[in-house]
Chains A and B, each alone.
Chain A
């Protein structure tokens, strides 16, 4: 039965034009791989519009290095819940961490998880706690005496 239907429909083109918009959004929301999303964006204008929106609005967990365009990324992605900051590199300026925190605080004050890769002082933890009132967890990892140590604070 379905074979007959397939033959009838083979003449039609643009199969998606009859699909409701939320069906396409639902299908694209399943795409996990960035490569697959990129393929969908090159199919047609309609799929590109939905895929682009999906990329921007998907709940994100961002990792920042000092040299990243952090300000741009913070503004671009609208739903960021978790941020990881990598500051353990020795050639970063002394105020690298404060600068990153300041940008993230201005753009993403609602994040609820923060991970810091680098040694944290009490001053840093206090700065973080005051900057992000919605934080549920702060964790930091550092290298000491030949091994990695990790500390997690949860609300």
Chain B
């Protein structure tokens, strides 16, 4: 019998705790596939965030370290510098990366740390129950912005990929999403490129994934994906933000 599809060896045989329609599971799978294809499951070290992906180490089959909230880039800095020949990545949400860990991500990018950051931007705090994130859109409701985010009260949402792209240490930044198969394929390609450039020693690489959180957005799955494409992708444009190879 011919195998036409099988689960990546990059994931364990564990049931994921993510909600229906959540993008985390898909991105986990893509990371597992990319590292498997690169024959890196024995060498890869992943740094997990605080947030919904806090249990990622129970799902990935390679070694992982759970960082304190926002500190994954600092942890990854040490891991990569002491294991320079191994692929290292951080997996962080928007609260973790763009709020409490803003200093750590900016400085890791500034130093051109040779690891990859996978930034899951779903414009909301998931695990703590739908509070406003730095990436929450204007007008979007959150449990700490019950009437919707306003510019006066909370400022404008932060475009992290664009911000990090201004730093010379960042060699590759792309924004992707996983709402359908073509976008999912693009995401996988972007992830692979990021890891390849990391292993080539080029510098800091950054993949921002616009992600859906139907639970905290109070939407059906299809509705959430549609909202993501119409609203998030409008404010956070998809595509390559920076690629020093193409420059």
Q: A and B: real partners?
A: no
Interface residues of A (CB under 8 A from B): none
